[in-house]
Amino acid sequence: MDAMEFFQLSTGKWRSQRTTHHLAFKRSEAGESNIQVQALAADHPQVIEICHIHQVDPKLAIGGAFVSWQGAMGWDRDDENHEGSTVFSLIPDAENPRQGSLLRERGYAEIVPVAGQYHMDEKDALVLTTEYETMSSIERFWFVGPGIRMRSSTVKRFGGFSTATFCTEFRIADDAPNPEPIPDTVEPTKYISFFGG
């Protein structure tokens, strides 16, 4: 499996149950979210736009995805909003199609375009590593079955781990006649994780 196939298998609606461990406080926080994933072809205007933002030749892209989410966490304040959307573009390495760069319009650490590195591991899990000036994150996604996906992530700041998260995600039957429309332009939103909150 390559990363684009992983996106295609992820297409649809998901219900995510999440536990985040705040390591500095030795406490955990529960949350949940609804996530929608739509795989995008290599010639989709949004995939091309993300490539242009990163000054990458769009012909190198194999596709991407549009992801939207709505969620809530146990420690949320009244003004917190775990809702948004993002677009990804996949640029595989020429020598190895199972690894490469994942481009997006905004990361969750800085409001600038960011490129993460991805690879498919020996168990066909998708692993994404993103480096920022003040932090780094590692996320791993894998399927237990067609309708169950797992996700784990760690965030490291200033030389020490600050959070570790584990999610179990269940596919929801698509009873809606039309999926959420993909916006015409890329608008930065609060980005929580690679596949939503």
Distance CA 49, CA 56 (A): 10
Tally of CB atoms within 10 A around 77: 6
pLDDT of 143 over the 70 cut:
yes
Q: What is the number of structural domains in the chain?
A: 1
Q: What phi-psi label fits residue 196: left (phi over 0), alpha (psi between -120 and 50 degrees) or beta? A: left
For residues 107-131, average pLDDT: 84
pLDDT for 72? 66
Q: What is the mean pLDDT of the chain?
A: 83
pLDDT band at 186 (very low <50, low <70, confident <90, very high): very low
Residue 196 lies inside a defined structural domain of this protein: no
Distance CA 116, CA 136 (A): 10
Residue 20 lies in domain: 3-172
For residues 125-137, average pLDDT: 89
For 12-51, what is each residue's pLDDT tens digit?
Answer: 999 999 988 888 778 888 888 899 999 999 999 999 999 9
Residue 178 lies inside a defined structural domain of this protein: no
Distance CA 122, CA 75 (A): 36
Residue 179 lies inside a defined structural domain of this protein: no
Taking every pair of C-alpha atoms in the chain, what is the biggest distance, in angstroms? 49
pLDDT of 190 over the 50 cut:
no
pLDDT of 110 over the 70 cut:
no
Residue 192 lies inside a defined structural domain of this protein: no
Identify the residue with better confidence: 44 or 74. 44
pLDDT of 155 over the 80 cut:
yes
Residue 74 lies inside a defined structural domain of this protein: yes
Contact 68, 46 (CB under 8 A): no
pLDDT for 90? 97
Say which CATH number the domain at 50 has: 2.40.128.20
pLDDT of 7 over the 80 cut:
yes
Residue 86 lies inside a defined structural domain of this protein: yes
